[in-house]
Amino acid sequence: MINNQRNLSMLMDSYELTMAYAYFKKGMKDKEAVFDCFYRMNPDKGGYCIAAGLEQLVDYILNMHFSEDDITFFRNKYHFDEDFLDYLKDFAFRGTIYAVKEGTIVYPNTPIVTVKANIIEAQLIETMLLLTVNHQTLIATKASRIVRAAKGRTIMEFGARRAHSYDAAIIGARAAYIGGVDATATVAAEQDYKVPATGTIAHSFIQAFDNEYEAFEAFAQVYPDNCHLLIDTYDVLESGIKNAIRVAKEVLEPNGHRLKSVRIDSGDLAYLSKKVRKALDDAFMSDCKIVISNSMDEYLITSLLDQGAPIDSFGVGERLITSKSTPVFGGVYKLVAIEKDGMLIPKIKKSENIEKITNPGFKKLWRLYSKSTGNSICDVLTTRDEVINEAKEYWFVDPLKPWSEKLTTDFTAVELQKTIIENGKLVYELPTIEEIRAYVKQQLEHELWVEELRFENPHVHYVNQSKKQYQLKMDLLAKAEHMGEN
């Protein structure tokens, strides 16, 4: 087990500590604050994201503490007063975490995680919260795109060697599995997170023998029940497929075994896969699958299938594990309310870039579903004290067209955020990875509009606001014009 019981509490930005000290010295340590974690754009110009990483976030928060060594480090580096060091010595997260269930389909500008805690606690978890959610949401979302491109064919995640270090490989495989891949090559991901690990053979195996046939023969003898052969070490058509068929006929079939698959990792994959398919079929080996690897992603897979390449399974490496085409998921963590005189005061962050203006206040996030189709109609942000009554017609504001209020009837409304940690205690039963995976699948197949699933110019999901939430935002924006003054 690689990833259990690591204390990641020291993984934070230095400014979180120095701000915490300033809050402490200014007597603000018990001031309650609310922060939202949300993002602004779907990667790859897609239509949705898959929220992931909640399980690791919970592990981190529940284990958060500073050791004697950490306190010594703080003393030496920051010269904090001893009263603050004592505070850190006793530190635990005692606040409340709300989040959408892991695997929830999410959209820009909606809170994936909301933290309500004293401002020091809320501040010290910023980096870990963001990097956990950003990384896994990025990879789960990329995986989902690749899986959908393969239209039901098997996808294996093969990217560990190009991942951005150890966790990126192991936890990346977890996120990819949530996003829909069928398996990973990474053994530790099965051991730590129950992602099924699988694989074939490498070119070096073939080269370690005097010739290709001997290598295939050796592998078939050791794995008669589970024989997968890599056929592009020398020449796919001139030798690889011929030797694979010969081994099937001479070693496997006489003993009642079948060759499970052949893998091609280089060359013109559309052309080669067709020729290999024909050779296999001609040898009465229609059950032998063709596995393709080499810089696959949703675009290349789409292109291969468009060309009619008879591929059964794809090994996907670097372009998945780094989300190569969009390697950054820009989740942010913004203050939306802060306590003053015992009340939570909503806060807004203005910006010269209009799309960077935040949605203020401690909110609720709802998803409205059509009663007749089950499709999700839109998301709605409301203030915390609002309840959407399904029995009535519901009027709300599209913030992009605020001049015309909108009406929905015949809907169900679900509050998407659950209370995960309450006053420092876990109050939520974390789902298994199989449950998370099934939840993703169910939403993609039954709740999303097919127009949101397109790779090119997908439908932009509606994220609306209640009239009260919208008015709050407008009021605060007007007021914020003067916040720099004093």
Least distance to a second copy, CB of residue 42, Å? 16
411: β partners: 370
User: How, if at all, do strands 228-230 and 363-370 pair?
Assistant: unpaired
Binding mask 90-119 for a second copy (x = CB under 8 A): -----------------------------x
Per CB under 8 A, does 431 bind a second copy? no
Find the binder of a second copy among 48, 91, 177, 219 (CB under 8 A): 219
- Contact between 211 and a second copy per CB under 8 A: yes
137, 142, 151, 319 from 323: Cα distances, Å: 11, 6, 20, 5
Reference 127, options 20, 50, 28; nearest CA is 20
The angle, 0 to 180 degrees and rounded to 10, between the axes of the packed helices 298-306 and 126-149 is 0
- Within 443-472, which residues bind a second copy (CB under 8 A)? none
The answer to whether residues 58 and 421 touch, using CB atoms and an 8 Å cutoff, is yes
What count of Cα atoms within 13 Å lies in the side-chain half-sphere of residue 422? 5
Instruction: Please select the residue that binds a second copy; options are 63, 191, 302, 412, rule is CB under 8 A.
Output: 191
Q: Which is nearer to a second copy, 339 or 415 (CB)?
A: 339
The total number of residues shown for the chain amounts to 486
Of 96 and 323, the one with the shorter C-beta distance to a second copy is 323
Identify residues 343-362 at the interface with a second copy (CB under 8 A): 347, 349-353, 356
Distance CA 120, CA 87 (A): 11
Instruction: Tell me if 71 contacts a second copy by CB under 8 A.
Output: no
Specify the residue, 162 or 384, whose C-beta has the smaller distance to a second copy: 162
> Is 132 one of the binding residues for a second copy (CB under 8 A)?
yes
- What is the closest distance, in whole angstroms, from the C-beta atom of residue 163 to a second copy in the complex? 6
Span from 240-248, 299-307, 452-460, 465-473 in contact with a second copy (CB under 8 A): 240-248
Tokens 């009554």 correspond to 389
Q: Does 222 bind a second copy (CB under 8 A)?
A: yes
Q: Looking at 44, 214, 386, 415, which residue binds a second copy (CB under 8 A)?
A: 214
> Least distance in Å: CB of 349 to a second copy?
6
> Which two tokens mark 210?
């005097």
Quick one: which of 278, 327, 393, 432 contacts a second copy (CB under 8 A)?
327
Q: Does 17 bind a second copy (CB under 8 A)?
A: yes
Q: Residue 330 interacts with a second copy (CB under 8 A)?
A: yes
Place of tokens 């006053």: 423
**Coil, strand, or helix at residue 113?**
strand
Q: How far apart are CA 381 and CA 365, in angstroms?
A: 5
According to DSSP, residue 248 is labeled I
Tell me phi and psi for residue 90, to 5 degrees.
Answer: -90, 5
Cα dist from 370 to 3, 50, 314, 376, whole Å = 42, 21, 36, 6
- 477 contributes a contact to a second copy by CB under 8 A: no
Is 85 an interacting residue with respect to a second copy (CB under 8 A)?
no
Task: Report the residue from 30, 40, 45, 73 that binds a second copy according to the rule CB under 8 A.
Answer: 73
Within residues 365-424, the interface with a second copy by CB under 8 A covers none
Among 243, 313, 376, 466, binds a second copy (CB under 8 A): 243
Residue number with CB closer to a second copy (237 or 413): 237
Contact call for residue 172 and a second copy (CB under 8 A):
yes
Smallest CA-to-CA distance from 368 within 471, 469, 462 is with 462
Residue number, 330 or 402, with CB nearest to a second copy: 330
Q: Any contact of residue 323 with a second copy (CB under 8 A)?
A: yes
Give the residue with the Cβ less far from a second copy, 206 or 448: 206
Which residues, including other chains, have CB under 8 Å from residue 265's CB and lie 6 or more apart? Answer: 203, 230, 232, 292, 293, 294, 315
Judged by CB under 8 A, the residue of 45, 166, 432, 474 near a second copy is: 166
Choice from 28, 305, 433, 453 touching a second copy (CB under 8 A): 28
The residue behind tokens 């974690």 is 37
Residue 204 interacts with a second copy (CB under 8 A): yes or no = yes
Q: In the set 41, 71, 85, 201, which binds a second copy (CB under 8 A)?
A: 201
> Are 42 and 146 a contacting pair, CB within 8 Å?
no
Do residues 301 and 146 make contact, with C-beta atoms less than 8 angstroms apart? Answer: yes
